[in-house]
């Protein structure tokens, strides 16, 4: 019994590590994959004001739906985000411009850690990873761009059904997966699904209600 436990202690971390960042295989020579176009098309290329319905769900079946307003300027990495209840109560109003400023935070949204986590998720969903993809190849069957930064490894892959998948690894651990779908004519995804892995995990479903280009 002790031996089995000891073996499990050795094997489980090894297996977890092996399920981490996948190796990229070379793209076929005749592949018409253009990384800049296919890996970054769904990220914001200019300033936008976006209004989403934001549905959160949590293990055990709990969840709720709110309205999120985001003013995003990718050229400078600036964000302002407001989260309100369907009834209109503003729960959180925060800006991030290299530094987080919480203008209004009710309950858990008064916590800078909590709000910073929300800002990180929004940046992950809206802004392209910094720099150019260091590696391009196939992850599984999907053409994938790989970005490396201090925050970890980010894989962005486009799928034949028109959706784009993003995976963020922190170390070898899969931290976030994001699926972009219902691409609109203006290049914005009509739907974004984010899953946060680990404990406590959660998922967010964002449906675009309104989009306004910022001048």
Partner 1 sequence: MKCMQKKNMFHRAPAGGQGGMRRKGIMNYYRSFKLAKFSAIFLISLACIAWGDSWDAIKKGAGNISSVEASFTQTKQMEILAKPLVSKGKLYYQAPGSLRWEYSTPVWSVLLMHGSSISRYVKRGDTVVQDSAARIQSMRVVIQEIALWMKGDFDANPAFRAELKAGRTILLTPKEKGMSEIITKIELKLSDRPGMIRSVTIYESEKSRTVLSFNDVKLNTKIPETLFRKM
Decide if residue 131 touches partner 1 (CB under 8 A): no
> CB of residue 198 vs partner 1: minimum separation in angstroms?
10
- Residue of 27, 41, 67, 102 that binds partner 1 (CB under 8 A): 67
Among positions 19, 34, 85, 149, the unique one binding partner 1 when judged by CB under 8 A: 85
> Binding of partner 1 at residue 101 (CB under 8 A)?
no
With CB under 8 A as the contact rule, the residue among 19, 34, 75, 111 that binds partner 1 is 111
Say if residue 167 is exposed, middle or buried (CB neighbours under 10 Å; 0-12, 13-18, 19+): buried
161 binds partner 1 (CB under 8 A): no
Q: Identify the residue whose tokens are 């005749």.
A: 30
Residue 180 φ then ψ, to 5°: -105, 130
61 interacts with partner 1 by CB under 8 A: yes
Q: Which residues are within 8 A (CB) of 13 and not within 5 positions of it... i.e. 6 or more apart?
A: none
Query: Residue 59 interacts with partner 1 (CB under 8 A)?
Result: yes
Q: Report if residue 107 touches partner 1, rule: CB under 8 A.
A: yes
CA distance 177 to 195: 5
Contact region with partner 1 (CB under 8 A), list: 16-24, 35-43, 66-74, 156-164: 66-74
What whole-number distance in Å separates Cα of residue 148 and Cα of residue 133? 8
Size of site (CB under 8 A) for partner 1: 49
Contact criterion met (CB below 8 Å) for 76 and 97: yes
Which residues are within 8 A (CB) of 23 and not within 5 positions of it... i.e. 6 or more apart? none
User: Does residue 190 contact residue 208 with C-beta atoms inside 8 Å?
Assistant: yes
Among 12, 15, 45, 106, contact with partner 1 (rule: CB under 8 A): 106
- Residues of this chain that interact with partner 1 (CB under 8 A) are 49, 51, 53, 55-59, 61-65, 67, 69, 71, 80, 82, 84-91, 93, 104, 106-114, 117-118, 191, 196, 200-202, 205, 207, 209-210, 212
């Amino acid at each position: 019994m002790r031996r089995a436990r000891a073996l499990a202690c050795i094997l489980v971390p090894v297996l977890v590590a092996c399920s981490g960042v996948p190796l990229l295989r070379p793209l076929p020579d005749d592949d018409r994959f253009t990384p800049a176009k296919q890996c970054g098309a769904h990220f914001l290329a200019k300033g936008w004001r976006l209004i989403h319905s934001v549905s959160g769900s949590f293990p055990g079946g709990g969840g709720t739906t709110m309205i999120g307003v985001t003013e995003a300027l990718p050229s400078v990495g600036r964000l302002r985000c407001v989260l309100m209840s369907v009834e209109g109560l503003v729960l959180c109003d925060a800006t991030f411009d290299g530094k987080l400023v919480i203008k209004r935070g009710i309950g858990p949204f008064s916590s800078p850690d909590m709000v910073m986590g929300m800002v990180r998720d929004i940046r992950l969903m809206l802004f392209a990873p910094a720099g150019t993809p260091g590696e391009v190849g196939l992850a599984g069957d999907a053409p994938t761009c790989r970005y490396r930064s201090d925050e970890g490894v980010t894989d962005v892959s486009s799928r034949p059904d028109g959706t784009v998948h993003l995976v963020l690894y922190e170390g070898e651990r899969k931290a976030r997966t994001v699926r972009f779908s219902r691409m609109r004519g203006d290049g914005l995804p009509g739907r974004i699904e984010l899953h946060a892995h680990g404990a406590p995990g959660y998922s967010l479903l964002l449906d675009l209600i309104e989009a306004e280009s910022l001048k």
